Structure formats: C-alpha cells, structure tokens
Amino acid sequence: MNIRDAQYFVSKLGLEPHPEGGFYKRTFESGERTSDQELTVNFEGKRKLYTSIYFLLTSNDVSHFHRLKSDELWYYHAGSSLTIHIIHENGEYEEIKLGLNLDNGEVPQALVPKNAIFGSSVMEEDAFSLVGCMVSPGFEFQDFELFTQDDLLPKYPAYKDIIKKLAYKTIPE
C-alpha cells in the first residue's frame, strides 16, 4: 500500500492531525473512572479506565518522542509495519516492529510501559501504517509530555541518531 492509500483511511475513518505527528481519532473510552489512589500512577483528578484511538503515520512523518503516565497498548491494523522506539525508565533503548511479518520479528501488538519516552516511524518509503492505541488509565493531554533534542541528548547521548530523528528541535506552538 502506498502513501496515497493513507488518504483513504484518513477520510473514511475521520482522522485528524495529531500534535505528536500523524493522524488520529478517539474511538472508544471507558464509562468508568479511577483515581491515582487505586493505582501506582500519579495524576490529578480521575481518569477513564481506558481510551482508544486509531493512529495513522506515513513515511513522510514521525511520531515525536513523548511520554505518558499510563501504559499504552499498540495494535497493528493495515499498511506497512511501524517501528516503535522506546527509551525505558531505566535508560535502555528498544525497538519494536509492529506488523504481521512474524518471521521478520514483527508483532501484531505491543506494550509501551508508562513513563517510557517513545515515538514511532514507518521505515518503508512511500508507505503508511494504521494502528490502534489503547491507553490505561485513559489518555488525557495533561498527562502528555513532548520532548526536544535538548531535553534528551544530554541524558541519552548514545541514542543521538534516533533522538535527532524523533525529537523536536523546539516544541511547536
């Protein structure tokens, strides 16, 4: 599927530009709420038990490095495989390839743990990837933190190449 096919999904699914890059649409959210008193997550107020989105990324864009206070499960749906780049809380870097080519090390679903710094990219030229992302406790923009190269390079100099690719030089307004 080439990049022109991405517009089909953007249009048919009603996707909108996402602040971290790519396109998204919230699809499901829990009617129940929880507080940080019941969890090992530190946030103000209550959160939905889960939220879920469609997320589409093309090879012309990246999902910039960011962090959430909640776990995020990723599910592959269509298009090219997608690489999730994770800097874990302990400072270790991991790449997860989301897709259906199991013989090539791809997996159809993956977990990004809470407090990890992560972003994603589509490695194939002229391609896109459509995935689903479920966050639990549910996503709220106040729990979303974007990073600049200046934030990350001093802490993780060994990951310079991927930081320069996935971190903003300055946070867009």
Secondary structure of the chain as H, E, C letters: CCHHHHHHHHHHHCCEECCCCCEEEEEEECCCEEECCCCCCCCCCEEECCEEEEEEEECCCEEEEEECCCEEEEEEEEECCEEEEEECCCCCEEEEEECCCHHHCCECEEEECCCCEEEEECCCCCCEEEEEEEEECCCCHHHCEECEHHHHCCCCHHHHHHHHHHCECCCCC
- List, for residues 1-40, the tens digit of each pLDDT value: 666 799 999 999 999 998 878 999 999 999 988 876 766 6
Which fold would CATH assign to domain 47-166?
A: Jelly Rolls (2.60.120)
Provide the pLDDT for residue 103. 98
Provide the pLDDT for residue 2. 65
Low-confidence ranges of the chain (pLDDT < 70): 1-3, 36, 38-40, 42
Q: Where along the chain do its domains lie?
A: 47-166
Provide the pLDDT for residue 39. 67
